[in-house]
């Protein structure tokens, strides 16, 4: 993608990002922002995940059929700062979504054309542009997601959470990692901490949340590594090792996520 056209998401902002300086629009209102939004998502996720969204027909359906549920946060100068991808979902703790996490939520959500039977809004992805990270916009985006859920008539927001620092500890079991605490008792992982501080409730682990298959050539291209033998490999930005099978010319990554639920209240409104 042409970076000049897409804008420079790495240029640092020299002002504080506060909610009153933001505007929120959907991709159905601003279809011209679709490619830019997609580019921001690609930039903020590991390279091995990029194909997973760009070339995933379900993801393309999400952007096309559910453009009313894809939100971009812009500055008033129209700089794109953040993207929130959501889908209405019939979610309960016994259905496929609980176990199949992100993949299950996308598949189930897309297959339900009639959103009236949905009981939750699911945030599939919250992405903050590199230049805007660390300014509190992540927290703002979670609050906005709740306001969006309320605005769309849902009383809860659910999400298969990807703990952002887990990839630095790929050998630690996911369950153990999410139980790590800071001295004040809050979660060690900053993204999980953001959610729990906003009263998000962890519901359980989706063990097979995101599954990515690729040939050995694919994985070499995505990681810049070589995989000379069958076995498990730690790769950059992955939460757990990938499994490579030379005979099958295949590599597989199966990422666990943590389901988190936010009950939406009357206080969840846009102009907070």
Min CB(208)–ligand COA separation in Å: 17
Torsion of CA 193, 194, 198, 204, to 10 degrees: -60
Q: Which stretch binds ligand COA (CB under 6 A): 52-60, 111-119, 187-195, 198-206?
A: 187-195
Whole-angstrom Cα distance, residue 256 to residue 238? 11
Q: Which is nearer to ligand COA, 50 or 250 (CB)?
A: 50
Interaction between residue 145 and ligand COA (CB under 6 A): no
Interaction between residue 22 and ligand COA (CB under 6 A): no
One DSSP character per residue, 28-59 reads TT-GGGHHHHHHHHHHHS-HHHHHHHHT-HHH
* Residue 163-182 contact track with ligand COA, rule CB under 6 A, x = bound: -xx-----------------
Min CB(47)–ligand COA separation in Å: 13
Interaction between residue 139 and ligand COA (CB under 6 A): yes
Contact 71, 84 (CB under 8 A): yes
Q: Which is nearer to ligand COA, 27 or 260 (CB)?
A: 260
Contacting residues for 259 by C-beta, under 8 A, at least 6 apart: 97, 98, 101, 158, 159, 160, 161, 202, 203, 204, 205, 206
Q: Rule CB under 6 A: which of 35-64 touch ligand COA?
A: 44-45
Q: Which is nearer to ligand COA, 56 or 133 (CB)?
A: 133
Which residues make up the interface to ligand COA (CB under 6 A)? 44-45, 125-128, 133-139, 162, 164-165, 190-191, 193-194
């Amino acid at each position: 993608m042409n970076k000049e056209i897409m804008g420079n998401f790495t240029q640092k902002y020299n002002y504080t990002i506060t909610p009153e300086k933001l505007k929120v629009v959907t991709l159905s209102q601003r279809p011209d922002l679709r490619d830019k939004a997609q580019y921001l998502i690609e930039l903020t996720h590991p390279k091995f995940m990029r194909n997973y969204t760009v070339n995933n027909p379900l993801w393309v359906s999400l952007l096309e059929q559910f453009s009313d549920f894809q939100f971009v946060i812009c500055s008033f100068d129209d700089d794109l700062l953040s993207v929130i991808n959501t889908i209405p979902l019939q979610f309960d703790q016994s259905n496929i979504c609980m176990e199949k996490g992100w993949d299950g939520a996308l598949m189930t959500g897309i297959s339900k054309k009639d959103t009236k039977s949905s009981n939750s809004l699911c945030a599939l992805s919250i992405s903050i542009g590199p230049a805007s990270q660390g300014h509190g916009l992540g927290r703002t985006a979670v609050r906005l997601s709740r306001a969006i859920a309320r605005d769309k008539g849902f009383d809860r927001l659910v999400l298969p959470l990807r703990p952002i620092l887990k990839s630095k500890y790929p050998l630690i079991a996911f369950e153990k990692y999410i139980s790590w605490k800071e001295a004040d008792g809050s979660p060690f992982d900053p993204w999980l901490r953001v959610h729990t501080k906003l009263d998000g409730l962890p519901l359980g682990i989706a063990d097979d949340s995101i599954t990515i298959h690729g040939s050995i050539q694919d994985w070499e291209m995505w990681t810049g590594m070589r995989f000379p033998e069958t076995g498990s490999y730690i790769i950059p930005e992955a939460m757990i090792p990938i499994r490579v099978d030379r005979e099958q010319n295949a590599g597989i990554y199966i990422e666990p996520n943590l389901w988190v639920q936010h009950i939406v209240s009357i206080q969840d409104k846009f102009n907070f």
